[in-house]
Amino acid sequence: MARAAESASDLDYVGGVEVGDDLHAFLESKRPHVLIDFTHPSAALGNALHAVKHGASPVVGTTGIPAEGIDELERACGEAGLGGIVAPNFSVGAVLMMHLAELAAPFFPAVEVIEMHHATKADAPSGTALATARRLAARRKFEHSTPERVTLANTRGGEEGAVAVHSVRLPGVVADQEVIFGLTGQTLTIAHRTTSREAFVPGVLLAVRRVVGEPRFYRALDELLGLRA
């Protein structure tokens, strides 16, 4: 992180890009149309609200923001006449994974979600995994098996609407997720693998173009892809 920027001109440059840690000074001097935030849940909401005050549409990929915080941001964007988006995942492939899982859900009585991220990820489960579980639970009532004896606590993962969610945190992983459905004599796995953070770029660019072009607030990338109303 660069040193604090005491004024609009007090910024460091890395690879020809201005770098600083005074968001107010940057927004005041540059007046951007969009603020893209992939930071930390403790800072993301404040950053986004600050951007709206300066006329910048927020594009937020930081997960872990409370639902009431997203509601507050939507209200702020509406009052300012700005577009905005808070999405649990900006990867097109991940969004399609969730959509396909929703299509499969009515045909299977049981399902579990396994998500894997880098070891420094701040939240668990991931926003994508939690959103997936909630969307699947809305499609049907699933069965969640409980063993007679648990010799290690939390082995069966967390549970959201009878959908078990397991989080893996390891160095070397970017962002992977599997949705595993079970039916007598068979399983169906819908998986998405991320090999680099470049996977998020197409979705972010799509979001930037959209929120600048219309004063609408989005809560997921699939709305921009026409997969949800």
What residues are annotated to the active site? 117, 121
CA–CA distance, 111 with 98 (Å, rounded to integer): 13
What stretch of H or E contains 47? helix 41-53
Rg (CA), the chain: 20
Q: What is the amino acid identity at position 160? A: E
Nearest one of 210, 112, 203 to 165, comparing CA atoms: 112
Contact assessment for residue 60 and residue 219, using Cβ atoms and an 8 Å cutoff: no
Query: C-alpha 93: how far from its chain's center?
Result: 13
CA–CA distance, 190 with 180 (Å, rounded to integer): 7
Name beta bridge partners: 160.
163
Q: What is the amino acid identity at position 176? A: D
CA–CA distance, 134 with 83 (Å, rounded to integer): 25
